[in-house]
Amino acid sequence: MRIDENRTLAWAVLAVCVVVSVFLLGGSSLGRERTKVLKVFNDGVNAKLSTRHSMDAYLDAAGEQATIMAGEAEIYLGASDLTAQTAANAALVGQDAADFTVRSRAYSELKGQVEQLYNQLYAKVSTEEFRNFKLAYDDFWGQDDLLKRDDYHKLARGYNDLISGFPGGVVAGITHQGALDTFGG
């Protein structure tokens, strides 16, 4: 008996081929795509530049600047809930963690806290005393600008689009590959 004479056997072979190609080969392709996006997050896109030009480095630098601002604010405003929250969120932003959602949420909260600290200090402190805080504040928003313009956002959105449809969503669910955080970019 030949396979082309038995339709049931031919359909079974076709189904096995589809399942193998979609789920096994698709899963490894999805894994490679995710690895590529995470590499851009950690190392940046240009091999000629150092890893200081990556989303990870920009978040670290923003966290460092926010820590400096919290320390300066504590000198002039005293220990407050806001300075403690700012320092805590700065630590979460700067942590070396694979949980991007925690870092993203902390970064979003940190931006608002930085503005609140700026407004409180600006109202109470002389211009000369305010100088160190202002330098850290400007550096923080410089890092925010770099975060917004990083190529990671485009790649992460592309990956998220890939796993939102069929068969990517099914393969991502089976292989436990969730969506990547775009940090609002």
Q: What tokens were used for 144?
A: 């925010």
d(CA 41, CA 85): 26
Residue with tokens 């072979």: 13
- pLDDT of 112 strictly over 60: yes
> What is the DSSP code (8-state) at residue 180?
P
**Span 27-32, mean pLDDT?**
71
Q: What is the DSSP string of 68-108?
A: HHHHHHHHHH-S-HHHHHHHHHHHHHHS--S-HHHHHHHHH
128-174 residue pLDDT tens: 778 888 888 999 899 999 888 888 888 888 888 878 877 777 676 66
**Span 44-69, mean pLDDT?**
78
Greater model confidence, 44 or 49: 44
Candidate from 85-89, 144-148, 179-183 with smallest mean pLDDT: 179-183
Residue 8 pLDDT: 75
d(CA 87, CA 161): 35
Q: Residue 176 belongs to what H/E stretch?
A: none
pTM: 0.72
Residue 138 pLDDT: 92
- Taking alpha carbons only, the member of 86, 90, 61, 89 closest to residue 74 is 86
Greater model confidence, 142 or 41: 142
> What is the DSSP code (8-state) at residue 181?
P
Q: How confident is the model at residue 4 (pLDDT cuts 50, 70, 90)?
A: low
- pLDDT of 22 strictly over 60: no
> What is the DSSP code (8-state) at residue 185?
-
Do the Cβ atoms of 119 and 147 come closer than 8 Å?
A: no
Q: What tokens were used for 95?
A: 């942590």
- pLDDT of 25 strictly over 60: no
